[in-house]
Amino acid sequence: MELTIDINKEQELAQEQIKAQGFRVLVCGGTGCVANGSEKVMAKFRELGANVSTLTSHDKMTVVPTGCHGFCEQGVLVILPDQHTTYVKVKVEDVEEIFNSHIIGGQPVERLLYTDPATKQHVKKNDDINFYAKQTRTALENCGHINAESLDEAIAVHGYEALSNILRENNPDAVIQEILDSGLRGRGGAGFPTGLKWKFTAANKGGKSYVVCNGDEGDPGAFMDRSVMEGDPHKLLEGMAIAAFAIGADEGYIYVRAEYPLAIKRLRKAIKDAEERHYLGKNIMGTEFSFELHIKEGAGAFVCGEESALIASIEGERGMPRPKPPFPANKGLFGRPTLINNVETLANIPVIMRKGAKWFSSMGTETSKGTKTFALTGEVNNTGLIEVPMGTTLREIIFDIGGGIRNGKKFKAVQIGGPSGGCLTEEHLDLPMDYESLTKAGAMVGSGGLVVMAEDTCMVEVARFFMNFTKNESCGKCVPCREGTKNMLKILEKIVQGKGELKDLEILEDLANTVKDGSLCGLGKTAPNPVLSTLKYFKDEYIAHIVDKKCPAGVCTALKTISIDADKCKGCTKCARTCPVGAIEGTVKNPHHIDQSKCIKCEACLNSCPFKAISKA
């Protein structure tokens, strides 16, 4: 098709504009850094920059609010791209020093550089920070490097280039073939081949079709999709437009939970900007292809991440999954053929189309191609958002990128895939992270939540925690999930309270398997995973809770005993004064003891004892 927009020219113009910004100070404007005060940091930089024209290398300074860099724990992050410098944990009070010393004086501020947890050294160049060095970024390639609210900055880094090429070539089938060849699989959890999904939906071309982006990221601690939406919204829009072109849709929805106000704000602005300049909306780039995009804010129900529940929610119905078949590709939103892809999947599309299927499929494993983002949290030194080639091992992620376990503790397990995933142990550390291997091990890629747990984590409590989550988030439609999660939770609660019986384990396992087998939707089918995987790898902990009435990790309050070692106690009375319930008795200079009937196991005494005479078991 004839295009009225020359994207290469637009790109040159946009790159010129970036150059004209002079000295660029990238300040992270992701949700995490905003919460840490990045807006104040930006304001301070702007204030200082406005008055000074004597900079090291430029005559002008521009403060750029970017999307998430992923290293949220170290926020507020400030990057000086020309200097390859990343400053971490920047406070508004530090801004003046960075400005004077580095921006004007050319001298980096050592104390604000990232400190490697292993070497304890400051890392000068951002490429040398292990957290970033070991990553390969595709979906996140621009997050943190461009102004998330600027269409021009997106265009400068190849935004809408792929769409432009596709429209010129005008061959939807070739697009689908390219995605098929790339081997891309759904990044939302189940890992269905994306190209196949497109093909199935395109087969119903003719009438009205929809493209829906699933941005209902609900796993506790996961924020991959939010970061893409906040940091590079145009990439998502371009991906959706390409999908719409390929399957013959002219309307689309982005379903975002209302708890992501910043993502919604940036998406809205991105849609408006793109429509104004004909990258979206009617007659895109002057062609016959039109694609109208809406944002639907969700109320935050976890189940609405399930595609049929999401469709029901967009339609204004109660967010309850519908039985499949029919699949959305045949009968989806408002009864029409609908393509639903997750944010990350769609964000991969423009890159694949630009760099080619071959490039993409060169990354990853035999069956899982490309890269995958993970939200790395828990007991690791470096937490944050990462993107690695599929097939990267847990060891690389946890110990190289994550910098190992905090406070020198021992690694115990990692929970993958959130409440739907499972717990993996030390024996899985060298398991390649791909769809098949993880499923086989009883976990799942899921949307990419990675919670690392150290030796002092109680696995029964972990199972209880996730079961409580799924029990609350079950929609209540099908019996196995609604009643099954409730009863599994009851049993787990019994066990952590020390009231469990051995036969409970049998009932629990049996019920977990049936819920997995019999539930209507993905939520129910995966809800028992945390139970099943902890039962598989940590059965001894369950038994300890039930038979010995002990929590080996010392986490479960009901099974904890705090006692004072009479030999070590000097009778300083500090613990007795600290105890909030008056459970510690004793006289000065004589050993104290704890009245177990009064003790609420808050551990306040434990931390107060100067002689380490108090211990828990």
Partner 1 sequence: MSEDKKTLKIEGKEVEFTDEPNLLEVIRKAGMNVPTFCYRPDITQFGACRMCVVEVKYPNGRVMVNSSCTMPPEAGIDVSINSKRVRKIRKTVLELLLANHDRECTTCEKSGKCELQKYAEEYGVSTIKYPTLDKKEMLPVDCSSPSLVRDPNKCILCGACVRACQEYQGHAVLGFANRGSRTLVQPMCGKDLADVDCVYCGQCKAVCPTGAITVKNEVDKVWDEINNPEKKVVIQAAPSVRVALGEMFGLSAGENVIGKMYAAARRIGFDLIFDTNFGADLTIMEEATEFLGRLKEGKNLPLFTSCCPAWVRYLETQHPEMLAHLSTCRSPMSMLSPVLKKLLPQNFEGYTRENTVVVAIMPCTAKKAECKRPQFKGDDGIYDTDYVLTTEEFGQMIKSAGIDFKNIEAEECDSPYGQYTGAGTIFGASGGVAEAAARTAYYFVTGENIANNDILEFRGVDKHSRSKLIELDIKGTKVKIKVVSTLVEAEMAIQEIQDGRADYQLLEVMACPGGCVNGGGQPISCDDITIREQRADGLYKEDAKDLQFRRSHENPDIVKLYDEYLEKPNSHKSHELLHTTYDDKFKGSYKDVTK
296 binds partner 1 per the rule CB under 8 A: no
Q: How far is the CB of 499 from partner 1 (least distance, A)?
A: 12
Contacts of 370 (CB under 8 A, 6+ apart): 138, 182, 183, 184, 348, 352, 360, 361, 363, 364, 389, 390
- Please say which residue, 105 or 335, places its beta carbon nearer to partner 1: 335
Question: Which residue, 123 or 523, is less far from partner 1 as judged by CB?
Answer: 523
* Of residues 63 and 527, the one with the C-beta less far from partner 1: 527
Q: Is 377 helix (H, G, I), strand (E, B) or coil?
A: strand
Separation CA 195–CA 180 (nearest Å) = 4
By beta-carbon proximity to partner 1, the closer residue of 2 and 501 is: 501
* Closest C-alpha to 420, from 523, 277, 514: 523
Compute the least distance from the CB of residue 521 to partner 1, in Å.
Answer: 9
Question: Containing H/E element for 199?
Answer: helix 194-202
Closest CA to 30 of 64, 73, 67: 67
Cα–Cα distance, 24 to 15 (Å, whole number):
13
Give the nearest distance from C-beta 484 to partner 1 in angstroms: 6
Nearer to partner 1, 73 or 473 (CB): 473
User: How many residues form the binding site for partner 1 (CB under 8 A)?
Assistant: 33
Mask for 507-546, x = binds partner 1 (CB under 8 A): x--xx--x--xxxx--------------------------
Q: How far apart are CA 581 and CA 578, in angstroms?
A: 9
- CA nearest to 398, candidates 417, 416, 422, 420: 416
Contact 438, 397 (CB under 8 A): no
User: CB of 541: closest distance to partner 1 in angstroms?
Assistant: 23
Contacts 24+ apart (CB under 8 A), 366-371: 367/183, 367/434, 367/435, 367/436, 368/183, 368/185, 368/191, 368/434, 368/435, 368/436, 369/182, 369/183, 369/184, 369/185, 370/138, 370/182, 370/183, 370/184, 371/136, 371/137, 371/138, 371/139
Give the per-residue contact string, 315-344, with partner 1 (x = CB under 8 A; - = no): ---x-x-xxxx-------------------
The amino acid at 339: L
Residue 14: CB minimum distance to partner 1, A: 46
Residue with Cβ nearer partner 1 (218 or 248): 218
Minimum CB distance to partner 1, residue 584 (Å): 37
Residue 187 or 322: the one with the smaller Cβ distance to partner 1 is 322
Per-residue x/- track, 128-167, partner 1 (CB under 8 A):
----------------------------------------
Residues 468-487 that bind partner 1 (CB under 8 A): 471-480, 482-487
Q: Are 289 and 246 in contact (CB under 8 A)?
A: no
Least distance from C-beta 472 to partner 1, angstroms?
6
CB of 501 to partner 1, least distance (A): 11
**Closest CB to partner 1 among 413 and 511?**
511
Task: Find out whether 389 and 363 touch, Cβ atoms under 8 Å.
Answer: yes
Beta-strand (E) ranges in 364-511? Answer: 371-378, 384-389, 411-416, 422-425, 449-454
Sketch the per residue contact string, 495 through 514, with partner 1: x for CB under 8 A, - otherwise.
Answer: ------------x--xx--x
Nearest-angstrom CA–CA distance, 315 and 335 = 10
Looking at residue 132, what DSSP letter applies?
A: H
Helix H or strand E segment including 298: strand 292-298
- Measure CA 579 to chain center: 39
Angular region, 475: left φ>0, alpha ψ -120 to 50, beta rest: alpha
Q: Closer to partner 1 by CB, 486 or 589: give it.
A: 486
| In the complex, least distance from residue 507 CB atom to partner 1, rounded to whole angstroms | 6
Provide, rounded to whole angstroms, the least separation between the CB of residue 481 and partner 1: 8
Q: How far is the CB of 421 from partner 1 (least distance, A)?
A: 20
Looking at beta carbons only, is 434 or 473 nearer to partner 1? Answer: 473
3-state class of 351 per DSSP? helix
Q: Rule CB under 8 A: which of 442-471 touch partner 1?
A: 471
Binding site for partner 1 (CB under 8 A): 301, 303, 318, 320, 322-325, 471-480, 482-487, 490, 507, 510-511, 514, 517-520
